[in-house]
């Protein structure tokens, strides 16, 4: 079933490992800054996708939009229609932990959620979405080698961008959740169902309790540490 209504790529146009970003302009930036001989395979709905070489290894980058329903469409198609084996999301998050400041990096070991996304799988209980250990272990090692400030732990994948009430976030903070974003739980669920690998690497763009935040241009262009961790991880797998 390729091309799809959302992806113009032909079978074989996309590498086995894909870096994904909610912002398609961040995907474009990664392709232009880090990949050699990058070829654009998708621009449907402005969700840019590129395949090129990173230090000689074939890697793809693609946008996925905001929220779990949007990510779910693109991730499902990559895993099931394009034979992708590994997806590494590089995105932004708001810090809940007081130890995490703007521009710090979080590698999401697990994804709590306030979403009903898991209901589609008709499970007889509560599912715990987690990252692929090989990707997690490799990414943490690469972050150390790059000398970047990072933390590993649980994040909250929320359906609400404007629902970050401090009183509610405090409850998640009290359970040692590090940060809040909008996609990781769906990514981990779809990867688990497909028998594939997934990891979410996040840069703190704002601090929920202090109000500190990065600029729009910093969100789009300056959060390069997580990109380098993801690309170096892609080299190892």
pLDDT tens-digit map of 118-142: 999 999 999 999 999 999 999 999 9
Residue 165 banded pLDDT, cuts 50, 70, 90 = confident
On average, the pLDDT of the chain sits at: 95
pLDDT of residue 221: 73
Q: Which residues are catalytic?
A: 206
Task: List helix spans (H) across 16-175.
Answer: 24-34, 68-81, 133-146, 166-174
**In the chain, what are the domains?**
17-236 (3.40.50.1580)
pLDDT of residue 4: 95
CA–CA dist 66, 72 (Å, integer): 10
What's CA 46's distance to the chain center, in Å? Answer: 18
Please write the tens of the pLDDT for every residue from 183-224: 999 999 999 999 999 999 999 999 999 999 988 778 767 789
CA–CA dist 135, 63 (Å, integer): 20
Q: What is the mean pLDDT of residues 103-115?
A: 97
CA–CA dist 230, 77 (Å, integer): 21
User: pTM for the full model?
Assistant: 0.96
Is the pLDDT at 163 greater than 90? The verdict is no
Q: Do 128 and 110 meet the contact criterion of CB atoms below 8 Å apart?
A: yes
Please write the tens of the pLDDT for every residue from 23-59: 999 999 999 999 999 999 999 999 999 999 999 999 9
Residues paired with 91 in a beta bridge: 202
* Dihedral (Cα; 152, 16, 93, 180), 10-degree rounding: -70
């Amino acid at each position: 079933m390729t091309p799809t209504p959302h992806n113009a790529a032909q079978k074989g146009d996309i590498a086995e490992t894909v870096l994904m970003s909610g912002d398609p302009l961040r995907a474009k930036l990664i392709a232009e800054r880090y990949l050699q001989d990058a070829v654009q395979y998708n621009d449907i709905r402005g969700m840019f996708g590129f395949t090129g070489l990173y230090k000689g290894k074939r890697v793809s980058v693609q946008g996925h939009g905001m929220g779990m329903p949007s990510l779910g469409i693109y991730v499902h198609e990559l895993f099931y229609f394009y034979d992708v084996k590994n997806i590494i999301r590089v995105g932004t998050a708001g810090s809940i932990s007081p130890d995490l400041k703007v521009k710090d990096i979080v590698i999401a070991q697990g994804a709590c959620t306030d979403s009903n996304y898991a209901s589609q799988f008709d499970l007889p209980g509560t599912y715990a979405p987690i990252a692929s250990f090989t990707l997690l272990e490799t990414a943490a090692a690469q972050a150390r080698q790059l000398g970047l400030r990072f933390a590993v732990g649980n994040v909250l994948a929320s359906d609400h961008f404007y629902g970050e009430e401090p009183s509610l976030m405090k409850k998640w903070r009290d359970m040692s959740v590090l940060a809040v974003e909008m996609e990781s739980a769906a990514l981990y669920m779809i990867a688990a169902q497909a028998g594939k690998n997934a990891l979410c690497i996040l840069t703190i763009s704002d601090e929920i309790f202090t109000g500190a935040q990065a600029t729009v241009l910093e969100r789009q262009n300056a959060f390069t540490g997580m990109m380098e961790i993801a690309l170096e991880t892609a080299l190892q797998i």
